[in-house]
Every structure is written in structure tokens, then in C-alpha cells.
Amino acid sequence: MEYFKHYQKNFNELLKSSDDVDFRKKNFEFFSKNGFPVKKKSDERWKYLDLRSLEKKLYSHDLSNYAEGLTLNDLGLEEKNTIKVINGVAEYSKIAGLDLMSSDSYKHVATYNEDEFISLNASMSYKPIYMSINSNFIGDKLNIVYYSNSDKDILECPRICLKVDSDIHLTLNEIFICSETVTLKLPVTELTLCKNSKVFHNLVFQSSFNENNFKFTRVDQQENSYYKFTSFSNSSLIAANDLKVSMNGENSECDLKGIYFTTKNSQFNTHVVVDHNVPNTKSNQYFKGILSDESRAVFSGKIYVERNAQKTYAEQKDLNLVMSKGAEIDTKPSLEIYADDVECSHGATAGHVDESTLYYMMSRGIDRKTATQMLVNGFASEIIDEISDENIKMFAKDQSDKILPKLTFEV
């Protein structure tokens, strides 16, 4: 296929100016062996999505760094402690307590052969960031804002690897600001949570119908660490929220939540894996979807419990509101358990707005449309209210307030 040649050429050029040559080569090899996972039958994550468009359009790096058009204050976001990722390239001023690491001193959480998108990211990433956060870090918040501004069809492969030192408490906000740029974004964020650390991670996608955004988050949790992840996503052309948490230290706990709105002809993929590798860990997955028009969403969630990971407590739930006849959800929760003393539960639902609840609300004088909006809004707020950062919560609420009146309600 033509795109292989295209990315090979881009890769060769990038390799000249890179130092981590072996790492990149290994990753690119994996990508070029498999290509994009188009209708890959064996892979639950991608088989329901139509990714053929990725094979047709050729995306290239645009390293001319245009930050214009991005004013954080107007969006209710802060400049302080913010890393801006423009066209896939991170730029930031020095932040105290945030120290650069060399690429070989960081132990990667994402593996090179787990996903074609991740491999493409690793091989094509321009100036990946390796950092550790230590006790000199002032404030407790780090923002990463992604924005695209180019008139070309661009490929963006930002990679941010963060090691959160022992006992550090951090709020990490990642925000994707919409743009008109035609882009294939493959952002990868790797987080290492050292002993006793706590990370509150909020991830917001603003809608953009020119963007393909495949976001990967990989988390390594060490002893007694706590990780809370809350995502809000609005429709893009094709987007993915792909999250994997490895519980590698005893008494660690994670709480993973997300809401996805899909409209028009958008496709959205939520993929969540929690690996319980050691005893006495706890995880919760709670995701919700609101689907309308001709959109499509996929949820595949997995709880994996290693043989020695006794006393694991793991829950998983995916609830979907399907607002139109043309929308489709494929939800597939799964458990893979090799230990015997564990408590795990999972469940998934897909349904329309509940008629008896609507009747109850209308019997109080609330008209059908308003009642439906209140119901949908309530359904979404349960997740949005979990966003730990007030600014980001407002930002997400604002997004959802804009979507709600536009949703069509066919039953």
C-alpha cells in the first residue's frame, strides 16, 4: 500500500536527527509489519470501527510551530504549569520540580508490540518528553494542552512520559482543543506512579470533525499508589480513548471513569484494561456513552487478574444511552481471572431514554424535550462531576451544555 512507503520515507528522515534509534526502529518494524488495524478481526478494539480512511489519506509532520490561535485564558484554562503540544510537538518553559530524564533512564509502560498506533507514535514521535516530578514541584497541577494549526494533513505523535515520584500528589489535566486542521493524532501518555503517590488525571476531548485522534494512556501503579482517571469526550471523526493500568504494587487502587458523546457520523472507541498483577489491589471502571445520529461507539473493557493476585477487588460497568435508530454501540466487557480469592463484577447496558421516567417527569409539568434533556444531562453529570479540577469540570460542562440541545431524540 502506498501509505507504507509514505511513512517509511518520513521515518527515515526523522531517524537522522534522533538519538534513540534502536527503540524507534523496533517500533517502526512492528508498525510496518501490520499497518493500521483496519477491520482487524482478531482485535476486539478495532474490528467494529471503519479505519479505511487512514489508508487513503497521507499525513506528514508539520514542525512549524504555530501557537497562534490558542489563548488558554479564553477557554478558562491556565498558562501556569502548562505544556503546550502544538502540531504534536511539546513546548514549555522550565517548571520547578519537573526534571527532564534521558530516554534510556525511563522504563516504558507502553510496550512496542502491543498496538500499531503506539508503535507508529514511538517511531515517529518528534521530541518526546521524559520527565520526573519531584517534591520541588510547586502547586499540584500540571496541564497538557494539545492544539493543531496547519494547512496540511498532519501527523502528530506526541509522547509524554512522566514519572511521579514517591509521595507526590498531582492533578494532571490533558485537554485537546478543537481545530480545523486535518490531522491524525496519536498521542501517548505514559505514567509511572511511584510508591504512595496519588494522581488525579482528567482528560477532555473537544469535538472536531477534521480530526482522527487515537489517545493512549499507559499507567504503571506501584505500591500504595492511587490513580483516578476521568475523561470527557465529544465526537471527532474517529477517536479512541485507550487506557491501560497495570497494578504492579500491593494496596494500589484505581478509579477510572469516562463519558463519551458521539454525534453525526463519528466513531469512538473506548478501550480499558486493568491488569491486576499483585495481591490486594482494587480497581473500578465506570464508563457511559450517549450516542446519537449515525454515530458508532465501541467499548471494550477488560479486567485481568494474575494467578497470584489474590484479594483483588475489581468492578466494571459500561452504560449507554442510544438516542437514535441509526446509532450503534458495541460493548464488550470481559474478565480474565486466574486467581481464586477475588471479587469481580462487570456489566453493560444499552438502552433508550426510559419511558416510565419520562412519564414521571412529564407528570410534573416538564415537557418531553426538556425532560429528555434533563435525563441525559443527569446521566452525563454523574461522570462530569467526578472531574477533580474545577476549571476542567467547567470546561467539560460547557461542552456538554452545547451538545445537549443539538442532540436529536428519536425513540
375 is a contact residue toward another protein (CB under 8 A): yes
Instruction: Count the neighbouring beta carbons within 10 Å of the beta carbon of residue 405.
Output: 8
4 is a contact residue toward another protein (CB under 8 A): no
361 is a contact residue toward another protein (CB under 8 A): yes
377 is a contact residue toward another protein (CB under 8 A): yes
Q: Which residues partner with 305 through β-bridges?
A: 276, 337
Q: Which residue from 34, 53, 381, 388 is in contact with another protein, where contact means CB under 8 A? A: 381
Query: Chain-centre distance of CA 93, in angstroms?
Result: 25
13 is a contact residue toward another protein (CB under 8 A): no
The stretch near another protein (CB under 8 A) out of 46-54, 73-81, 333-341, 358-366 is 358-366
CB of 255 to another protein, least distance (A): 18
Contact between 352 and 325 (Cβ < 8 Å): no
CB of 374 to another protein, least distance (A): 6
Distance from C-alpha of 372 to C-alpha of 352, rounded to nearest angstrom: 10
Pick 365 or 405: Cβ nearer another protein: 365
370 is a contact residue toward another protein (CB under 8 A): yes
379 is a contact residue toward another protein (CB under 8 A): yes
405 is a contact residue toward another protein (CB under 8 A): no
What x/- string results for residues 310 through 349 when contact with another protein is judged by CB under 8 A? ----------------------------------------
Q: Are strands 141-147 and 129-133 parallel, antiparallel or unpaired?
A: unpaired
Identify the residue whose cell numbers are 479486567. Answer: 303
Which ranges constitute the DSSP H helices of 73-222? Answer: 116-124
Pick 15 or 362: Cβ nearer another protein: 362
Distance of CA 391 to CAs 72, 79, 141, 231, Å? 11, 12, 12, 14
- The string of DSSP letters for 365-387 reads T--HHHHHHHHHHHHHHHHHTT-
**Residue ranges that bind another protein, judged by CB under 8 A:** 354-357, 359-368, 370-371, 374-375, 377-382, 385
